[in-house]
Amino acid sequence: MMKRVTITKKAAKVLEQLKEKHGDLIFHQSGGCCDGSAPMILEKGDLYLDESDVLLGVVEGVNFYMNQDQFEYWKHTHLTIDITEGRGASFSLEIPLGLRFLIHSRLLTDKEDNFFNSKK
């Protein structure tokens, strides 16, 4: 099964920890300044989502969304969610741990690109 979004073991461990504390979660890829261009982890139901948010995949039971406008520029890339030491200034839930989720990207392979982008 091909996936657009995967997660590193280290990041998955932090995700587990956050799920225990906060319950159901979602990822939403942010844009813009400061701590933008990074994924935000939020309690499910906190952020209002509608058809303008694209579901890119599910990692460890957590949906990963991105705004449609932004997705247009991202759809040919594969994303790996990782975690690093740091201090974001957003409302993302891992920040109090002194950690920050981070995206590593690569181009989709031709096979993946066919699978994800030629269906429509």
Partner 1 sequence: MSYSKPKFKEKYSNFINGKFVEPIGGQYFDNTSPIDNSLIAKYPRSQKEDVELALDAANAAKEAWGNTSATERATLLNKVADIIEANLEEFALVETCDNGKPIRETLNADVPLAVDHWRYFAACIRSEEGSATELDQNTLSMNIKEPLGVIGQIIPWNFPLLMLSWKLPPALVTGNCVVLKPAEQTPSSATLLMEKIADVFPPGVVNIVHGFGPEAGKPLASSSRVDKVAFTGETTTGQLIMQYASKNLNPVTMELGGKSPNVFFNSVMDADDAYLDKAIEGAVLFAFNQGEVCTCPSRILVQEDIYDAFMARVVERTNAIIQDNPYDINTMVGAQASNDQYQKIQSYFKIGKDEGAKVLTGGAANKLSGDLANGFYIKPTILEGHNKMRVFQEEIFGPVVCVTKFKDEAEAIEIANDTLYGLGAGVWTRDAHQLYQIPRAIKAGRVWVNCYHAYPAHAPFGGYKKSGFGRENHVMMLNYYRQTKNMLISYDKNKLGFF
Choice from 1, 20, 51, 89 touching partner 1 (CB under 8 A)? 89
d(CA 109, CA 112): 5
End-to-end CA distance of the chain: 18
Angstrom CA distances, 97 to 58, 68, 83, 93, stand at: 23, 30, 11, 8
d(CA 100, CA 75): 23
CA-based torsion, 81, 15, 117, 29: positive or negative: negative
Q: Does 24 bind partner 1 (CB under 8 A)?
A: no
Nearest approach in angstroms of CB 78 to partner 1 is: 10
Q: Which is nearer to partner 1, 42 or 62 (CB)?
A: 42
Structure tokens at 29: 């890829």
Q: Does 25 bind partner 1 (CB under 8 A)?
A: no
Q: Does 42 bind partner 1 (CB under 8 A)?
A: yes
Residues 52-81 that bind partner 1 (CB under 8 A): 67, 69-70, 73-74, 77
Q: Measuring CA to CA, which residue among 50, 25, 24, 28 is closest to residue 39?
A: 28
Number of residues that bind partner 1 (CB under 8 A): 42
Q: Which is nearer to partner 1, 1 or 20 (CB)?
A: 20
Contact set with partner 1 (CB under 8 A): 28-38, 40, 42, 46-48, 67, 69-70, 73-74, 77, 84-93, 95-96, 98, 100, 102-107
